[in-house]
């Protein structure tokens, strides 16, 4: 089992589960919860969600999945930027806890930066940590200059969750090294491309298909193994099909060789300059 160490020393699975687009259709919720439960069975015990996803619907799906299994799961949720300070953050967190049917979160993230000063968000996060409502806080979709603005609070930031996959490698130029140098892991969302549906353009790319064929794997497994090729990255694909969940879990066993990585670099060149932070 590959693990990643958080700044406080806690170890979490390098491969977890996302929940973006879950909870949007009531008819799909039982199937979605079942997929998450299967993932837990297979060791994908870090589950990421957000109040934004289906306006709380994804959190309700996660609640079904983890019912009776809270102690097995490292639970992550995210707060809207407009709720990210003071009483609004406290209320948003309480709503998320109620939907998730838990007493606290393992990690609570600022979903992206809005008009609320980061210092106010940190202050509210710390109050909720002191109150026992969350164990750690972090951020999402923040670039190096944003993280530097955290100042003295930066060592308490547990992670930065960003868009990171073969198509979007901009964070490798400066953000990944910045975080790695501070012992802060990066959490990669959409690691197999837009929506993690398995039908995106990334997974149809010939280079990915060639590496997959050579390694006896699927393109999605290669894409996931690529995000996990170096320490300090947590990958959170979403899957609602049981077979996709099983294949995702098997991706932990795939180690890409130098020729695989060279082929992928040729098809998806690493950044040579600073790029604007990509977001979905």
Query: Does residue 21 have a known ligand-binding role?
Result: no
Helices first, then strands: H and E counts in the chain: 10, 9
Catalytic status, residue 164:
no
Rounded Cα–Cα distance for residues 17 and 249 (Å): 10
Rounded Cα–Cα distance for residues 237 and 251 (Å): 11
Q: How large is the C-alpha radius of gyration of the chain? A: 18
Single out the residue of 141, 139, 128 nearest to residue 97, CA to CA. 128
CB neighbours of residue 149 within 10 Å: 14
Q: Which residues contact 153 (CB under 8 A, 6 or more apart)?
A: 119, 122
Q: Which of 53, 108, 164, 189 is catalytic?
A: 53
Q: Which residues are part of a known binding site for substrate?
A: 111
Catalytically active residues, by annotation = 53
Q: Which residues are part of a known binding site?
A: 111
């Amino acid at each position: 089992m590959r693990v990643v160490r958080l700044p406080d020393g806690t170890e979490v699975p390098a491969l977890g589960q996302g929940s973006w687009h879950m909870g949007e259709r009531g008819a799909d919720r039982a199937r979605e919860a079942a997929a998450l439960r299967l993932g837990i069975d297979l060791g994908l015990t870090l589950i990421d969600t957000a109040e934004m996803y289906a306006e709380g619907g994804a959190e309700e799906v996660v609640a079904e999945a983890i019912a009776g299994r809270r102690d097995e799961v490292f639970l992550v949720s995210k707060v809207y930027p407009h709720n990210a300070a003071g009483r609004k953050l406290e209320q948003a967190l309480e709503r998320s806890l109620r939907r998730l049917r838990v007493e606290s979160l393992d990690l609570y993230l600022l979903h992206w930066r809005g008009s609320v000063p980061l210092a106010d968000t940190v202050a509210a996060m710390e109050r909720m940590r002191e109150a026992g409502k969350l164990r750690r806080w972090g951020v999402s979709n923040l670039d190096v200059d944003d993280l530097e603005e955290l100042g003295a609070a930066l060592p308490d930031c547990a992670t930065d969750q960003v868009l990171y996959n073969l198509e979007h490698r901009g964070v490798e130029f400066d953000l990944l090294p910045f975080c790695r140098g501070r012992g802060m892991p990066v959490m990669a969302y959409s690691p197999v491309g837009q929506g993690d549906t398995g039908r995106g353009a990334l997974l149809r790319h010939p280079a990915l298909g060639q590496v997959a064929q050579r390694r006896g794997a699927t393109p999605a497994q290669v894409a996931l193994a690529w995000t996990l090729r170096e320490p300090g990255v947590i990958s959170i694909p979403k899957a609602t099909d049981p077979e996709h969940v099983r294949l995702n879990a098997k991706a932990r066993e795939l180690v890409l060789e130098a020729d695989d990585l060279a082929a992928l670099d040729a098809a998806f060149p690493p950044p040579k300059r600073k790029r604007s932070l990509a977001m979905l």
